[in-house]
Amino acid sequence: MSSIKIDLDGKRFDLPFIEGSEGEKAVDITHFRKETGYITYDPAYVNTGSCSSGITFIDGEKGILRYRGIPIEDLASKASFLQVCYLLIYGQLPTVEEADQFAGEITRHTMIHEDFKRFFDGYPMNAHPMGVLASTVAALSTFYPQGENNDNDLNIIRLLAKMKTLAAFAYKKSTGQPFMYPRNDLSFEENFLYMMFAVPAETYEPNDVIVDSLRLLLILHADHEQNCSTSTVRMVGSSGANLFISIAAGVAALSGRLHGGANQKVIEMLQMIQDDEGNYQKYINMARDSNSDFRLFGFGHRVYKNFDPRAKLLKAAADNVLNELGVNDPLLEIAKQLEEVALKDDYFLERKLYPNVDFYSGIIYRALGIPTTMFTVMFALGRLPGWISQWKEMREDPKWRIYRPRQIYTGRTITKFEDKNK
C-alpha cells in the first residue's frame, strides 16, 4: 500500500506514505490543507515529523541511538569528541589529515574578543550561566557579521571553538575568579577544564579520568534527533537567521527544566532527600502515590520505552568515576539507593521508569567537581555539534522554507468594537 485514503465532505483523498531508511513510516500531508481545506491537529507535535534528516536515528522501543549510522556504543568507546563533531556536521568520520586540520583550526579560534569581557562585567554575579551563555553566543553574530551568508564553515569552527570559552568564562564570573585564557597545547576537553578550574596562583594539570569522563558526556549528548532545542534551532534558522543567533535560541530552549535543566533538577532532588534525613523511601512512596504531585527527576524518557542506551553507558562510567576519584558524597549514595529501587521495583519496571541520561550525567558532573548551575551548560556544549549539523542540513536542503505551523482558533467570533473611554 503506497497511500492512505480519507473521506472528507463526500470526497476521497489519497495521502501518500513515506518510509525512512530504517523503516520508519509517515503519512505525507504536505498538500493536505491545499487539497482538503483541513489541517491536522497535533499538540506539541508528538506525532508530527517536521523534517527528514540523515543525521541521527533513534528507536525508542529497542533502545537504539546512532549518529550517521554508527552505534552510540562504538562512538563512546572509540571516538574523540571532535571526531564526533566532524561526523555529525560533515556526514563522515574524518581522515587523520582532516582530523588534525579540524582540531588545529578549532584551537586557533578558541580565543574571544577582549571586548567580550565587558559583557561579563554587566551580568550580576549570581546570573545563571545558561542565561549568560545564550546572550554571549548571540553576541558572537555582532563580531562576525561579514560571515552571515557566505562563510558558514568558518563560523562553524568559530562557534565550536569559542562556545567552551564563553561557558568557562560564565562560570568564572559566578565565582569571582579571574578568566583563564585558553591554551593551544591542550586538547578540547583539557582546555575547557583548564579554563574552568585553573587559577593564576597554581599550576593546573587535568586529571585523565575527568578528561575521559567529559569526553564521554559530550559525545552522548551530541545529538538526539528533533527534540525541543534542536527543533528550535531549525525553527529560528528557517527564517534565514545566522548560525550564532540560531544556536543561541537552542541554548535558550535547552535551559528549561523539562529539557536540559533536568540534570540539575536531579541533584536538587537528591539534596532535598538528603535534607530530609536521607529518607529516600518516603519520596519513592510519594512518586507511587497517584494523589501526589511529586515526581522523581531522572527517571523515564519521552522517546525511550526501553533503557536509554546513553544511560547504560553512563551508569558504567559513573561507577568507574566514583571509584577512580575516591568520591564519598552522601548525595551520590542516595542516588545509588534510588537507582537500585528503580531497577528492581515492579512499579518502575512496569511503567518503564528506568534511570535516564539526566540521572547519571548529574551524578558524574557532581563527582567531577562541576557545580550544579553548570550542568545545563555542559549539556549545551555537548549538544552544540548536533545543533550545528541540524542547522546546516536544513540550510542546504533545496526544499528549505520558513517554518509556519497552523493553529485551531478557539477565541471569540467577530466582536463589535466598543470604546470604553466614552
The total of other beta-carbon atoms located within 10 Å of residue 273's CB is 23
Cell of 40: 491536522
Candidates 28, 358, 397, 419; catalytic one: 358
301 as an active site residue: the answer is yes
31 as an active site residue: the answer is no
Alpha-carbon distance 364 to 381, whole Å? 16
Candidates 221, 224, 301, 308; catalytic one: 301
Residue 40's alpha-carbon distances to 6, 31, 57, 76, 308, in angstroms, are: 13, 11, 25, 39, 31
Alpha-carbon distance 379 to 357, whole Å? 11
Alpha-carbon distance 139 to 248, whole Å? 9
> Which of helix, strand or coil describes residue 350?
helix
Shortest CA distance to 268 belongs to which of 164, 371, 156?
A: 371
CB 31 within 8 A of CB 39: no
Cell of 374: 553548570
CA dihedral 277→280→282→283, nearest 10 degrees, is 120
- Specify the DSSP class assigned to residue 5: E
Active site positions, annotated: 301, 358
